[in-house]
């Protein structure tokens, strides 16, 4: 896992949370883990394929999730219902999407999958032979833990609609 | 969810399990569900991204996972250790990869993500606005359920660097 994958996610999380919830984010201690991830109350899972491939997870407690969606939608949530679930999934989607755009500006193109929400404390999730960078993001609403199990793809194949850009041809 | 995405998975599962685990599968009754999926002991999660997009789960109990891993590795495993886990994740990867190849032959190209393995019964996985088709596959080693929450993709899988850039105005 390359550290240049990390900053785009931190930048994206910062921007998105500031815009959607007006919360500022403080980065906690970064760790590298090889063992399986133990889920929190809620885990949003989004896969990334392309020049960068792997999985991004966002783990948070029910309390934090409810606080975040209440701020995002400007109404009080007391229960993690379908609307709240879709709000949290969307948050993961927007952060990952924004991060993938920043990665692409740095020459690493990727596509992201639709979000999946796993609920249930204490299950184990392992991305076989990927190590994970774990970054807690502290906010006033609680902690969102970002787990990145990413690597540069060794055999990135271009799809058939790939069009090679020829800079000289454009100049004329 | 289009049924043309279903058969490639059943074919791929049949071929993979016959070749790797030397076991023949029979398809059970299909069901369609909208509510979150409550996990069994072992779940392999993969995403598909491209002209077909969504999620695929392979769900089974630990005993089945252990028998399958033992059969694939040709070695009697007594606990669901890392080797067995990587075997089961790989099985999901191979089936999905083969299915995505067959779906691409039908004109829907996609990329698949690396497999994630979820261990722990009773977690709830929600695929938001994607309905799931559940295909139970029975074999002598036990039952594997394939959950397909996939649909035709909204984007065509062109990465942003591949967009055609118009030339400068003269």
| Residue B138: closest CA among B27, B43, B56 | B27
| Residue A127: closest CA among A148, A153, A111 | A148
A89 interaction partners in chain B (CB closer than 8 Å): 126, 128
Q: Domain locations in chain A?
A: 3-171
Mutation target vs B (from A49, A107, A152; most B CBs, 10 A cutoff): A49
| Residue B68: closest CA among B50, B45, B44, B51 | B44
The pLDDT value given to residue B167:
59
The answer, yes or no, to whether residue A154 has pLDDT greater than 80, is: no
Evaluate whether residue B117 is within a structural domain: yes
Evaluate whether residue B72 is within a structural domain: yes
Reduced to 3 states (helix: H, G, I; strand: E, B; else coil), residue A30 is coil
The pLDDT value given to residue A16:
94
- Computed over every residue of chain A, the mean pLDDT equals 87
Evaluate whether residue B15 is within a structural domain: yes
Cα separations (Å) of A23 from A15, A65, A140? 10, 13, 7
Buried b (16+ CB within 10 A) or exposed e, A148-160: bbbbebeebeebe
| Residue B110: closest CA among B152, B148, B149, B147 | B152
Evaluate whether residue B94 is within a structural domain: yes
Chains A & B: contacts with CB separation below 8 Å:
147
Mutation target vs A (from B69, B161, B167; most A CBs, 10 A cutoff): B161
Max Cα-Cα span within chain A: 61
Average pLDDT over every residue of A155-164: 48
Evaluate whether residue B164 is within a structural domain: no
Residues ≥6 apart with Cβ < 8 Å to B12: B94, B95, B96, B98, B99, B102
CATH for B94: 3.40.1550.10
Residue of chain B with shortest Cα separation from A49:
B113
Evaluate whether residue B169 is within a structural domain: no
> Going along A20-115, which residue ranges are E strands?
26-27, 31-33, 37-38, 42-50, 52-60, 110-112
Beta bridge partners, A116, equal A45
Residue of chain A with shortest Cα separation from B37:
A118
Fold of A3-171: Chemotaxis protein chec (3.40.1550)
Residues ≥6 apart with Cβ < 8 Å to A125: A36, A37, A39, A43, A45, A57, A118, B116, B117, B118, B119
The pLDDT value given to residue B168:
58
Compute the distance between CA of residue A148 and CA of residue A145 in angstroms, rounded to an integer: 10
Q: What is the pLDDT of residues B121-153, one digit of tens each?
A: 999 999 888 889 999 999 999 999 999 999 888
B47 interaction partners in chain A (CB closer than 8 Å): 46-47, 49, 113-114, 116
Q: Give the count of domains, chain B.
A: 1
CB contact under 8 A, B36 and A45: no
The structure's pTM equals 0.83
Evaluate whether residue B166 is within a structural domain: no
pLDDT band of A133, cuts 50, 70, 90: very high
| Residue B72: closest CA among B55, B57, B93 | B93
Q: What is the pLDDT of residues B11-60, one digit of tens each?
A: 999 999 999 888 899 999 999 988 889 999 999 999 999 999 999 999 99
């Amino acid at each position: 896992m390359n550290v240049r994958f990390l900053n785009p996610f931190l930048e994206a999380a910062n921007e998105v949370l500031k815009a959607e919830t007006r919360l500022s984010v403080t980065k906690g201690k970064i760790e590298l883990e090889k063992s399986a991830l133990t889920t929190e109350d809620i885990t949003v899972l989004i896969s990334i394929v392309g020049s960068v491939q792997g999985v991004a997870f966002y783990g948070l407690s029910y309390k934090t999730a409810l606080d975040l969606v209440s701020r995002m939608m400007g109404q009080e949530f007391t229960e993690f219902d379908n609307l709240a679930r879709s709000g949290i999934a969307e948050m993961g989607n927007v952060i990952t999407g924004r991060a993938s755009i920043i990665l692409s500006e740095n020459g690493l193109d990727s596509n992201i999958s639709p979000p999946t929400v796993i609920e249930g404390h204490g299950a184990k999730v392992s991305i076989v032979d990927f190590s994970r960078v774990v970054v807690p993001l502290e906010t006033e609403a609680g902690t969102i833990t970002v787990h990145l199990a990413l690597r540069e793809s060794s055999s990135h194949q271009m799809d058939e609609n790939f069009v090679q850009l020829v800079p000289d041809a454009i100049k004329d | 969810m289009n049924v043309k995405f279903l058969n490639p998975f059943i074919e791929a599962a049949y071929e993979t399990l016959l070749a790797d685990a030397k076991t023949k599968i029979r398809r059970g009754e299909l069901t369609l569900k909208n509510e979150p999926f409550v996990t069994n002991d072992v779940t392999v999660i993969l995403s598909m991204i491209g002209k077909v997009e969504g999620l695929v789960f392979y769900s089974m109990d630990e005993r089945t996972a252990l028998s399958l891993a033992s059969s694939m590795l040709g070695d009697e495993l007594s606990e669901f250790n890392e080797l067995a886990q990587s075997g089961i994740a790989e099985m999901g990867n191979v089936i999905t990869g083969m299915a995505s190849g067959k779906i691409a032959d039908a004109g829907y190209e996609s990329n698949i993500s690396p497999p994630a393995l979820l261990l722990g019964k009773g977690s709830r996985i929600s695929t938001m606005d994607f309905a799931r088709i559940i295909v139970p596959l029975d074999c002598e080693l036990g039952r594997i359920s394939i959950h397909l929450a996939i649909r035709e993709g909204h984007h065509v899988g062109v990465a942003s660097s591949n967009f055609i850039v118009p030339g400068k105005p003269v």
